[in-house]
A and B are shown apart, each in its own frame.
Chain A
């Protein structure tokens, strides 16, 4: 074998070893483009799917936006309408406030006038109360005098009753004596003279002319009856308009009982004498000025 051949064999072997090493190194370290392609394609598919999803979301969001925009437009329109109404109401309220303020000022002026009038009325009331106190003092005094007079009257009435009893007893004794005298005179053939008793005529208390009361229309009830003295008390007095010498008719149901001629009047009661007595009046019988 020639030397050249040997050299070529050695060079070929060395170059083959180096070339193979380079190729193996390159192939071993080369990128796996298929794998990268698959990865990129998967990424692309995922990106496209995300794009579609995003597009769908975008469309849904647009539809939602449109729907909300329409709803909000409706609400804005309603709120604008309400705002206009509120503005109109506010204007009306302002006008009413102005009117009420004017009325309040007028009422304040009226109140001042009323206060002045009340002061005047208070002064008049004070004067009236002073006069009333005077009248009440006089009334108390007159009541006292009336009570004293009534007591005196009752005493005199009791004295009159006693005298009546004595008179009846004396009349009875006289009748007995006349009878005895008549019997004695008959025994001696004489006739006894008729004697009249010397008794002064005792007039009953006669009512004065009654006041015309047919148009007054007062009504009350009998609260007390003094049958012995022909007196009765009724439940109404001067506070109701009862005056002295008024004539009241006493009724029980539909029956007429008697009349009462007022002799004395108190604030809430009155006392009168019985007249035209058909029945004896009782407590609770109705009295009135009109039948």
Chain B
């Protein structure tokens, strides 16, 4: 991404960093979701991936 394209300005374009930010936001949202899900699993079942026996 070079700023020369913008200066010539034939048409407005979104800078590439925006897409990077979007990817980072998506990653952070996914990561937060995983952390929230794991925390809820640990709080409710006492383990992250272990299935508790009924009896």
Chain A residues with CB under 8 Å of chain B are 1, 5-6, 9-10, 12-13, 16-17, 19-20, 23-24, 27-28, 30, 32-35, 37
Asked if B33 is at the interface of the complex by the 8 Å CB criterion, the answer is yes
- Whether B19 and A9, one on each chain, are in contact in the complex, defined by CB atoms closer than 8 angstroms, is yes
The docked-state distance in angstroms from the alpha carbon of A30 to that of B8 is 54
The docked-state distance in angstroms from the alpha carbon of A12 to that of B21 is 12
Asked if B48 is at the interface of the complex by the 8 Å CB criterion, the answer is no
Q: Which of A16, A23, A27, A32 contacts B26 (CB 8 A)?
A: A16
Chain B residues with CB under 8 Å of chain A are 1, 14, 16, 19, 22-23, 25-27, 29-30, 32-33, 36-37, 40, 44-46, 52, 54
Q: Which of B1, B22, B27, B54 contacts A37 (CB 8 A)?
A: B54
- Whether B54 and A9, one on each chain, are in contact in the complex, defined by CB atoms closer than 8 angstroms, is no
Q: Which of B16, B25, B54 contacts A13 (CB 8 A)?
A: B25
- Whether A17 and B36, one on each chain, are in contact in the complex, defined by CB atoms closer than 8 angstroms, is no
- Whether A1 and B16, one on each chain, are in contact in the complex, defined by CB atoms closer than 8 angstroms, is yes
Residue numbers in A under 8 Å from B23 (CB-CB): 9, 12-13
Residue numbers in A under 8 Å from B27 (CB-CB): 16
State the Cβ distance, A38 to closest chain B Cβ, in Å.
Answer: 10
Mostly helix, strand, loop or mixed at chain B's interface? helix
- Whether A32 and B44, one on each chain, are in contact in the complex, defined by CB atoms closer than 8 angstroms, is yes
Residue numbers in A under 8 Å from B33 (CB-CB): 19-20, 23-24
The closest CB in chain B to the CB of A14 belongs to B26
- Whether B19 and A1, one on each chain, are in contact in the complex, defined by CB atoms closer than 8 angstroms, is yes
Q: Pick 8 A–B contacts, CB within 8 A, sort by A.
A: A12-B23, A13-B26, A19-B30, A20-B32, A24-B33, A24-B37, A34-B44, A35-B44
Residue numbers in B under 8 Å from A6 (CB-CB): 14, 19
- Whether A20 and B29, one on each chain, are in contact in the complex, defined by CB atoms closer than 8 angstroms, is yes
State the Cβ distance, B20 to closest chain A Cβ, in Å.
Answer: 8
Q: Which of A12, A27, A35 contacts B37 (CB 8 A)?
A: A27
The docked-state distance in angstroms from the alpha carbon of A37 to that of B44 is 11
The docked-state distance in angstroms from the alpha carbon of A28 to that of B44 is 11
Residue numbers in A under 8 Å from B14 (CB-CB): 6
- Whether B46 and A34, one on each chain, are in contact in the complex, defined by CB atoms closer than 8 angstroms, is yes
The closest CB in chain A to the CB of B40 belongs to A27
